[in-house]
A and B are shown apart, each in its own frame.
Chain A
Amino acid sequence: MVIVEFLIKLSQGFGIGALALATGLLFGGIGRKIMARIQRRYGPPFTQNFMDLFKLLSKGSVSHGWAFDLGLVAGFAPMLAALMFLPIGPFTLLPSDSSLIMIVYLMMMAYLGMAMGVLASGNPNSAIGMSRALMLMVGYEVPFAAVIFSVYLFSKTGYLTQIVTQQAGGFMNWNIVKMPLGFLATEIALQGMLGEKPFDQAIAPAEIASGPMVELGGKYLGFGMIQHSVGLFLETGIVVDLFLGGAPNFWIFIAKQFVLYFIVILVDAILPRLRIHEATSFFWKLPLFLGILQAVIVIIQGGVLNV
C-alpha cells in the first residue's frame, strides 16, 4: 500500500513539476512578448522559451568536472522539491509539511547548488556574478523574512495550506487587504528574487558577460532555465498563497501569478539596473521598513502569542 501511495505521489509530483515548468516557460515567453511590445516591436512567439529549452537540452556543452555537473543538478532539484510543498490552487502534494520557512530554505539550497556549479567553472566573471547574487540575497530576503514573520503572527500558523484556507471567502479576506504594506514589501522583494531589473546585477551582461552563466552552455544552460522557470512559478506561487488567497482552481491560480509577474515585467521594462551596493541598501530601506511596520501593526492588533 505504501508503495502504491508513493507511486501515486511520485506521478503527481512529476505532473506538478511539468506543469510548473510549462507555466514558467510560458510566462517567460509572454513576458518576452510584453517586453517586445513595450519596446515597440513584434517579439518572439509565446512558445519561444519551449523551443529554446528543447534546443539547449539537445546541444553539446562543456563540463569543468563533476562538481560542475553536481552543482547544476543541485541547483535544479531542490527547486523542484520545494515545489512539492506549495499549495497550487486547491491541491497540495504534501500538505502536512508545507512550512513556509522550510520552502524558503529549500529554495536557498537551489542557489547554493547553482553557486557550486558555476563557481567550479573557475571563471572570475561567474565569481563576481555569484558574489553579487548573494549580496542581493541579503538584501531581499530580509524584508521578505519580516513579511513572512508578520504573516505567521497574523495567521497564527506556519502552514501555507492553512494560510490559504484562512483567506477563503472573498476578496475582503485576502491578506493583501489585511496586510497591504506587507504585500508591497513582498512585491518589491519579488522583483529581486526573480532577478529582474533593477535587480539583475547578478547576470548584468554588459558588465560581467552574463555572470554565473558565463561557462554554461547546452544542457547546463537548459538546467539553469528550468531552475529559473520553476523558480518563477514557485516564487509567484508563494506570494499568491500568502496574499492573494490562493485559488479555487489551477487556472485562477495561474492568472493570479501572472498578474504578479506582469507587474514585475513592467518594472523591468522601464528601469535600468542599479549598482549592487545600491540595490542591497535599497532593500534595507523602504521594503524592510514596510515589512517591519507591517509586523508591528500585526503585533499591536494583538497578534502576540503568549506561550
Chain B
Amino acid sequence: MELNPLKESNDYKYYELFIGPNHPGIEGNFSYVLKMKGHSVEEVTPDPGLLHRGFEKLMERRLWTQNLALIPRICVPEPDINEVAYCLGVEHMMGIEVPKRAQYIRVIVLELARMASFLFGMSGLGGTTGHYTSVQWLIGDRDYILDLFEWLTGARVYHIYQYPGGVKNDLPDGWLDKLSDFLDYLEKRLPEYDKFIFQNPIIQKRTVGLGYIPAEDAIENGLTGPNLRASGVMYDIRKAQPYLVYNEVDFEIPKTGDGDAFSRVLQRRLELSESIKILRQCIKQIPQGPHRTKVPNPFQFRVPKGSYYSKVESSRGEFGYYIVSDGDVKPYRVYVRGPSYSIGLYYATKALVGMRIEDVPVWIHTTDMCPPDFDR
C-alpha cells in the first residue's frame, strides 16, 4: 500500500494561477497571483496598481473646491462618501458650520449610497457562486436608487453634489415622497431576497464557515466596517464618533458575530435594513432651512494652515482623508485611506492560503473589496 508521499523535491507540485485582472472572479481591475498545489492555494501575491491614477498628486494641483470633482472617482460603487469625508475635513479646518437641513440631506445621500453599495456587494456573492438570478434582481433594484440620485443631482454615478458648507441644491419637490415609495418597495423585496439568497441551502453551504476571521485578527489587520462587525467587534463610526446628524437618528448595529463569509454578507443585509430605518427617520425629521452656508469663492477659498484626519463610515469600512493645508488655495497634501487596503493587499495573503480555488472568489467578494480605493 503506497500512500506515502514521494521523497524528493517538491517543486513540481506547484503551479501558478492568475486571478485577475481579466478574470470574472475578481472585483475590479486587480490581480492575485496564486501559487497552487492541487486545488488549494499555497501562496498569494497581490498585484495592485492597475488602477493607480495618482489622486494624491493630482489633488495637490487643484483648488480646494476643484477637488470635489476628482475625488468621487476614488471609490466607484459608493462615490458620495469621498465627497462627504473631504467636505467634513475642509469644513472642520475652516470652522464652517453646516446647516441642519444640509446635514440631513447628506445623511440621506450617504445612506442611499450605502444601500446601493450593499446591493451591489451582495450581487457579487451571486456572481461568484453562479446565482445569477439574484445578481439580476439586486442590480435591477439598485437602479431605483440611481434614479433617485439622478433626479437629485443630475448624475447616476458621480454626483459631485456635496460642497463645503452644505450641498449644491436643495431637495426637489416630491423627491422625499419618491424616496419613501422606494423604501416601501425595497422593504417588500427584502423578505424575498432573504428567502432566495440567505436561506438558500447551497449559498449557506458555500459560505458558512468559510474564511473565518476572528475578532483579534480583524483588529490587528486593520479591517473596518461590516467585515469588522461581522467578526464581533461592534464598532461603527456613526455610533462611536457620530458625525453629521447620526446622533439624532435611532439605529442599531446588527450583530452576526461569526466572522465567516456568510456572516459578512448577512451583516450587510441587516445593515441595509438599518439604513432604511435611518432614512425613514430622516424623511420625518428633516427641518426646513437653507441647504448651504456662504463660503468664499473658489479662487479665494483658503483653508487655514493645519492638518486633520476626517473619516466616515462607508459600506466597506472607514474611509479617511488626512488633509494637510499650508494656507494656500490648494491643499498641500491629501492622503486617502481606503477601507479595502488592508484586507485586499495584506490580509488576503494570509486568509486565502489553504483555501480551495472555488472558495477564493467567494471570499474576495464577501469581503466586498474595491480595488480603486487602494490603488487611488
Q: A residues near B, CB below 8 A?
A: 35, 38-41, 124-125, 128, 131, 197-198, 200-201, 204-210, 269-276, 278
A198 to B130, CA, bound (A): 8
Task: Give every chain B residue within 8 A of A274 (Cβ-Cβ).
Answer: 202, 205-206
Task: Say which one of B55-63, B88-96, B227-235, B355-363 lies at the interface with A.
Answer: B355-363
Q: Given A124-B15, A207-B25, A275-B206, do A270 and B358 touch, yes or no (CB 8 Å)?
A: no
Question: B129's contact among A208, A209, A210, A273, by CB below 8 Å, is which?
Answer: A273
Q: Which of A39, A198, A210, A276 contacts B133 (CB 8 A)?
A: A39
In the assembled complex, B39 has its CB within 8 A of some CB on chain A: yes
17 A-B residue pairings within 8 Å (CB atoms): A124-B15, A124-B17, A128-B357, A197-B130, A204-B130, A206-B130, A207-B128, A208-B357, A209-B25, A270-B133, A271-B202, A272-B131, A273-B129, A273-B202, A275-B205, A275-B206, A278-B205
Q: Report how far A82 CA is from B204 CA in the complex, Å.
A: 39
B128 proximity list for chain A (CB < 8 A): 206-207
Judge whether B127 is part of the interface by a CB distance below 8 angstroms: yes
Q: Is the CB–CB distance between B360 and A207 below 8 Å?
A: yes
Pick from A201, A206, A278 the residue with the most CB of B within 10 Å: A206
Please, which residues of chain B bring their CB within 8 A of the CB of A278?
Answer: 205
Complex CA gap A156/B368 in Å reads 58
B257 to nearest A CB, angstroms?
24
Contacting residues, chain B, for A128 (C-beta < 8 A): 39, 357
Q: Which residues of B194-225 are within 8 A (CB) of A?
A: 196, 200, 202-203, 205-206
Please list the residues of chain B having a beta carbon within 8 angstroms of any beta carbon in chain A. Answer: 15-17, 23-25, 36, 39, 126-133, 136-137, 140, 196, 200, 202-203, 205-206, 356-361
Most central of A128, A207, A269, A276 by chain B CB within 10 Å: A207
Task: State whether B126 touches A41 (Cβ < 8 A).
Answer: no
CB-CB under 8 A from A206, the residues of chain B are: 24-25, 127-130, 361
Chain A residue at minimal CB-CB distance from B357: A207
Asked whether A275 lies within 8 Å of B356 as measured between CB atoms, the reply is yes
CB distance from B90 to the nearest CB of A (A): 41
Indicate which residue in A41, A204, A210, A271 contacts B358 across the interface (CB closer than 8 Å).
A204
Nearest B residue to A274 by beta-carbon distance? B202
B201 nearest CB neighbor, chain A only = A271
CB <8 Å contact, B130 and A273? yes
Can you list the 4 inter-chain pairs with the closest CB atoms, starting with the nearest?
A: A272-B131, A39-B136, A272-B129, A273-B130
Identify A272's interface contact among B24, B200, B356, CB under 8 A.
Answer: B200
A210 cross-chain contacts in B, Cβ below 8 A: 24
- Closest CB in chain A relative to B55 CB, distance in Å: 29
Q: Which residues of B contact A276 (CB under 8 A)?
A: 39, 358
Closest to B200 in A: A272
- Other-chain residue from B39, B196, B206 in contact with A270 (beta carbon distance below 8 A): B196
B196 nearest CB neighbor, chain A only: A270
Q: Which residues of A contact B25 (CB under 8 A)?
A: 205-207, 209
Most chain A CB atoms below 10 A, which of B206, B356, B358: B358
Instruction: Tell me the smallest distance from the CB of A132 to a CB of chain B, in Å.
Output: 9
Residues on the B chain within 8 Å of A131, using CB: 39
Whether the pair B126, A272 counts as a contact (CB closer than 8 A) is yes
Contact among A35, A39, A200, A272 with B206 in the assembled complex (CB-CB below 8 Å)? A272
Q: Are B133 and A201 in contact (CB under 8 A)?
A: no
Residues of A within 8 A of B132 (CB): 39, 269
CB distance from B20 to the nearest CB of A (A): 10
Q: Are A41 and B357 in contact (CB under 8 A)?
A: no
Contact A271:B205 (CB < 8 A) given known A39-B137, A125-B17, A206-B127: no
| Nearest-CB residue, chain B, relative to A197 | B130
Indicate if the CB atoms of A209 and B200 lie closer than 8 Å: no
- Check A40–B131 contact: CB distance below 8 A: no
Which B residues are CB-close (under 8 A) to A197? 130
For A128, A208, A272, the residue with the greatest tally of chain B CB atoms inside 10 Å of its CB is A272
The verdict on A209 contacting B126 (CB below 8 Å), with A40-B137, A272-B206, A275-B356 known, is no
- Knowing A39-B137, A271-B200, the reply to whether A207 touches B361 (Cβ < 8 A) is yes
Say how far B295's CB is from chain A's closest CB, in angstroms. Answer: 45
For the complex, give the distance between the alpha carbons of A271 and B137 in Å: 14
**A-chain residues with CB within 8 Å of residue B130 when the two chains form the complex:** 197-198, 200, 204, 206, 272-273
Cross-chain contact A209 with B24 (CB below 8 angstroms): yes
B31 → chain A, closest Cβ, in Å?
13
B16 nearest in chain A by CB position: A124
Residues of B within 8 A of A207 (CB): 25, 128, 357-358, 360-361
A209, closest chain B residue (CB): B23
- Best-surrounded residue of B36, B39, B200, B203 (most CB of chain A within 10 A): B39
CA distance A197 to B127 in the complex (A): 13
Give 14 A-B pairs besides A205-B25, A273-B206 with Cβ atoms closer than 8 angstroms: A38-B133, A125-B17, A128-B357, A197-B130, A198-B130, A198-B202, A206-B25, A206-B130, A207-B358, A209-B23, A269-B133, A275-B205, A275-B359, A278-B205
Question: Pick the contact of A40 from B15, B39, B127, B136 — CB < 8 Å?
Answer: B136
Chain A contacts for B205, CB-based, 8 A: 274-275, 278
State the Cβ distance, A219 to closest chain B Cβ, in Å.
Answer: 22
Nearest CB of A to B18, in Å: 9
Identity of the chain B residue whose Cβ is nearest the Cβ of A276 in the assembled complex: B358
The residues of B that contact A208 with a CB separation of less than 8 Å are 357
**A35 and B126 alpha carbons, distance in the complex (Å):** 15
- Smallest CB separation, A94 vs chain B (Å): 39
Complex CA–CA separation, A128 to B23 (angstroms): 15
Q: Do the beta carbons of B133 and A275 come within 8 Å of each other?
A: no
Which residues of B sit under 8 angstroms from A270, Cβ to Cβ? 133, 196
CB distance from A282 to the nearest CB of B (A): 10
**Smallest beta-carbon distance B14→chain A, Å:** 11
Rounded to whole angstroms, the CA-CA distance of A128 and B41 in the bound complex is: 13
**Chain A residues whose C-beta falls within 8 Å of the C-beta of B36 in the assembled complex:** 124
Give the shortest distance, in Å, between A123 (CB) and chain B (any CB): 10
- Chain B positions within 8 Å of A272 at CB level: 126, 129-131, 200, 202-203, 206
For the complex, give the distance between the alpha carbons of A210 and B203 in Å.
Answer: 20
Which residues in B have their C-beta under 8 angstroms from that of A41?
136, 140
